[in-house]
Structure 1
Amino acid sequence: MEAPHSIISIISSLLHIYILVLVIRVVLDLVAVFARSWRPTGPVLLLANLVYSLTDPPLRFLRRRIPALTLGSFGIDLSFLALWFGIVIVQYLLAILSGLL
């Protein structure tokens, strides 16, 4: 009976780490928007490559299916919010499932 709890705990921990990776991506994107001449170098470049390689595939998948919200000439990409919301829902369901086991 302990194995399902361990698996749920591992999955939950991985999802928490992925949320942290998404936060780092937001920070990198904001820095790129506000400091247009900034380019990551050294360890920051390695971190940026890791973060983008982990987050780009699911975001690209969602961008193909969820259109951007257009407000005049301004567009809001909803794929990031959808990914974040989906992860939170999965975490919530895992918490419920671990309580039932």
Structure 2
Amino acid sequence: MNHRGFTLLEVLIAASILTISFLSIYTLINSNINLSNSIQNKAELLGAENELLYNLYPQNLAQTSSIPVKLDDYKNITYNIKILPSGVFDSKIYTVSLRNKGDELEFIFYK
């Protein structure tokens, strides 16, 4: 017997191995892109939170919920501020929630 070429079975096995390899590489690249986008969104949220608190902190934070802050550099970001009494003298609990394309960050501070 002279084996001068590939049999159909060998070609099918090689094709299936290549297909599995390419699918695993595609899955890895796709998850890497999704993770990168999520990290970028969270970095934008951190920047927006910094700008928001920088603009609000000099003002009377007790009236924060009625003061709209325009986040010029962050068009797609929405925020919500909740103010609750802490039960300790005159201090309050401030909860700042920011959302951007499905990602959300929440910051809690006392003043």
Q: What's the TM-score once normalised by structure 2's chain length? A: 0.44
Higher strand share: 2
TM-score (norm 1): 0.47
Greater RCO, 1 or 2 (C-alpha within 8 Å, sep 6+): 1
